[in-house]
Structure 1
């Protein structure tokens, strides 16, 4: 396989992980990977669209920043292609953009609950991500053009994840694995926060001295091992 061929398989698997984790139920959500300054691979919709849980290699297409490219067979880029392309334009360090619709993230934000470092060793990468701040784009719109995408990207600033009010989230990373794992961490904190508040509790940030004690377990554990786990959760029934 060429590198592009391998990436198409990687993106398809990452889409299925999003669905398996409940972050992209139904037919909504997409993942892109930068190929060069003018091209990206992105999860497109075809005539046999069945949702992210059933993403196949053929659903991942190479297009330019205007959405033109390998679209044979009735495929088309997602309406929110600009959501991806504006992040890639604005942030050259980003290799992957993930857009998903986690219900818990939407519910927590609508309830006024921000993603905060309320956990510690339960999810160390998630705690670190939350400690740095997870901004909110306060418009519940379809990010379908460059104007709206620029607004979202400005709200995201230099952070790895932005919550989209009444909509979902956008996550960025070096790879599909890293970006999806970041989205999962934000979803986990949102779920836990809703559970704590729903039980009558009060959310309290992890004390600074405890945060300082959290070790960096390294990308080999935090990402490589965690991603093998996510892929293993898919089992042997997913399409390839």
Structure 2
């Protein structure tokens, strides 16, 4: 889904989900690595917070956690409210930040969840490094604070939430706001935040719409079968 939306072209990007206090599922790299767009069930492996197999045989067959596993595990260690972490490389997000354009609530009903997210602030981590160890990951988490998304300068973004669905949708929303901001500025316009009076009128549409329905839509956009190898309907969150 992230790749289909253009948030992680090529072979970069990864997604994780906490399963208990010490272990997480994460997209690992195997001998036939082809990138996020071509992820298979076999690419998702159980590891612990230190990158070791979470169960016997989990890293057999030449699989290894991503180099930036600490980006995920440090968020999970420090944020008990978070169970899922998404790391992606959206070009428009990177370009907007490098151009000095912050993620701001420039729209209203066009994207209510995205507007609310931006109104709360989207921090920027100022280091364009590969977050390959706990020290660098701790710096990123410090920049992130208690916010759900942090932009990584000259790198991409990290999105965190209670579930994979919300973490992915947050990343898509930030990417959309960055793309709109770049278009406005490129057209000679000036960015302005949504007036407070209009912000106050934006309703809470509820998780059934902003997460469950949005998730089904994103999955429906993808080509191919919408069930996994066990027959579960992947358009239903939680399946």
Q: Structure 1 length normalisation: TM-score?
A: 0.92
Secondary structure at the aligned position of 2:15 is classed as strand
Cα distance, 1:174 vs structure 2: 1.1
Q: Which whole-Å deviations, capped at 9, do the CAs of 1:217-239 have from their partners, x for residues lacking one?
A: 11111010000000011121689
Pairing partner for 2:175 from 183, 187, 190: 187
* Distance in 1 of aligned mates of 2:225 and 2:128: 35
CA contact (8 A) 1:140 1:164 kept: yes
Specify the alignment match of 1:33 in structure 2.
17
Q: Does 1:158 align with 2:146?
A: yes
Task: Please give the alpha-carbon distance, in whole angstroms, between the structure 1 residues aligned to 2:22 and 2:212.
Answer: 29
C-alpha RMSD of the superposition: 1.1
Contact 1:82 1:144 in 2 (8 A): yes
- State yes or no: 1:45 paired with 2:32: no
> Secondary structure at the residue paired with 2:3?
helix
Instruction: Report the Cα distance in structure 1 between the residues aligned to 2:162 and 2:10, rounded to whole angstroms.
Output: 26
CA contact (8 A) 2:2 2:88 kept: yes
**Conserved? CA contact 1:56–1:239, under 8 Å:** no
Stretches of structure 2 lacking an aligned partner (at least 5 in a row): 229-239
Give the TM-score, by structure 2 length.
Answer: 0.92
Q: Any residues of structure 2 matched to 1:66-105 within 5 Å, and which?
A: 66-69=50-53, 70-105=58-93
CA distance in 2: counterparts of 1:68 and 1:84, whole angstroms: 14
- May I ask how many residue pairs the two structures share in their alignment? 224
What is the aligned partner in structure 2 of residue 131 from structure 1?
119
- Aligned partners of 1:80 and 1:175: how far apart in 2? 20
Stretches of structure 1 that go unaligned for 5 or more consecutive residues are 1-16
SS of the equivalent of 1:32 reads strand
| CA–CA distance in structure 2, aligned partners of residues 238 and 108 of structure 1 | 34
Equivalent pair of 1:55/1:239 in contact (CA under 8 Å): no
Paired with 2:136 and 2:227, the residues of 1 have a C-alpha distance of 34
Tell me: CA distance 1:67–1:239, structure 2 relative to 1, closer, same or farther (3 Å).
Answer: farther
Does 1 or 2 have the higher relative contact order (CA < 8 Å, sep 6+)? 1
